[in-house]
Each structure stands twice: as structure tokens, then as C-alpha cells.
């Protein structure tokens, strides 16, 4: 069975406000913007919702998770960057995992995504910290067997989520 695509636009851009309507018209289901890229996250969140999309809010490694917290109840997904945004193949920053843990503890039903350096060697750290969504580029694309890498990543996240439910 093929899953229908649910495009999430991860907008690593200045002035993300200008792209909300074009992305909605293009068929995006979710619009993820960087907290650091806007002066008015509340207005942007409202605009995204009014354009029929879910809201994702990303933070770069240098931004504390407490800056995201005031918006957590208004968003659908928090994205913790585990590399500096900009290019693929960077080394996973394990010291970002306390941000994921804190978000999972404070907002247990929030989707939490990790992006940057995620692959077979780092997925367990992400899943155990509380991430239930991941972005993996280089680890999949450079693999001789992308399907097995995707399955491993998916299974590790699913197993960690099930364990968290049982531990509650």
C-alpha cells in the first residue's frame, strides 16, 4: 500500500510570512517555520491555520527550548534541529537531545521531530529522547539499501513510542 503524501514545507527562509499562501495553494498540509526567522510567531501561526495547514515550529541548535515553549500549545509539531540549517551530511549534535526530552515531558502529545544527522547510528538517541518524527536525508540517500534504513528508522521510533505509552 502506498501512503498518500502529506507534504510538510520546512521553510528555512527569511520572512516565512511571505510564503504561507503560495505553499497552501501548492497543496502543503503543514508549514514549518523557524522561530528565529520571524518577529511575530503568533501572527504567523494564525495565518498558517487560516490557510488550512498544520503548524510546525523549528528551533536551531543555538535557540533554547524555552523560547519555543510559549507556542507549544498552538502548534502541531516542534522541530529540534540537530545540525545548523543549510546543508546535508552534517554531524548529529547529541547535545540537542535534552531539548527533545524536555518537550516530551512538558508536552506529551506534541509531535516532536528531529532533523540533522539522523541515521542508523543516531536514531536510538532521538527516539529514546522522545522524538516521534525524524528527518533523514544523507543516511538514506547514501545507503546501498535505502528501504532497510527507512524501515529501521521507522521501527525504532515506533518501538520507543510504544514503550513510552506503556511506561506512563
Q: What is the pLDDT of residues 105-157, one digit of tens each?
A: 999 999 999 999 999 999 999 999 999 999 988 999 999 999 999 999 999 98
pLDDT, tens digit, for every residue of 33-45? 999 999 999 999 9
Residue 107 CB burial class (10 angstroms; 0-12, 13-18, ≥19): middle
- For domain 56-167, the CATH superfamily is Aldolase class I (3.20.20.70)
User: Closest by alpha carbon to 30, among 103, 133, 136?
Assistant: 133
Enumerate the domain spans of the chain. Answer: 56-167
Residues 6+ apart with CB under 8 A from 2: none
pLDDT, tens digit, for every residue of 45-68? 999 999 999 999 999 999 999 999
Residue 4 predicted with pLDDT over 70: no
Residue 8 predicted with pLDDT over 60: yes
Amino acid at each position: 500500500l502506498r501512503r498518500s503524501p502529506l507534504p510538510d514545507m520546512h521553510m528555512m527562509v527569511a520572512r516565512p510570512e511571505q510564503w504561507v499562501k503560495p505553499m497552501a495553494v501548492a497543496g502543503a498540509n503543514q508549514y514549518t517555520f523557524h522561530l528565529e526567522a520571524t518577529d511575530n510567531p503568533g501572527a504567523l501561526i494564525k495565518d498558517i491555520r487560516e490557510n488550512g495547514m498544520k503548524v510546525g515550529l523549528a528551533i536551531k541548535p543555538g535557540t533554547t527550548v524555552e523560547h519555543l515553549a510559549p507556542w507549544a500549545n498552538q502548534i502541531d509539531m516542534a522541530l529540534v534541529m540537530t545540525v545548523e540549517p543549510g546543508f546535508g551530511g552534517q554531524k548529529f549534535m547529541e547535545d540537542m537531545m535534552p531539548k527533545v526530552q524536555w518537550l516530551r515531558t512538558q508536552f506529551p502529545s506534541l509531535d516532536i521531530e528531529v532533523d540533522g544527522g539522523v541515521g542508523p547510528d543516531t536514531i536510538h538517541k532521538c527516539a529514546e529522547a522522545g522524538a516521534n518524527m525524524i528527518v533523514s536525508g544523507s543516511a538514506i540517500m547514501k545507503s546501498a539499501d535505502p528501504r532497510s534504513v527507512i524501515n529501521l528508522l521507522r521501527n525504532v521510533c515506533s518501538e520507543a513510542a510504544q514503550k513510552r505509552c506503556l511506561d506512563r
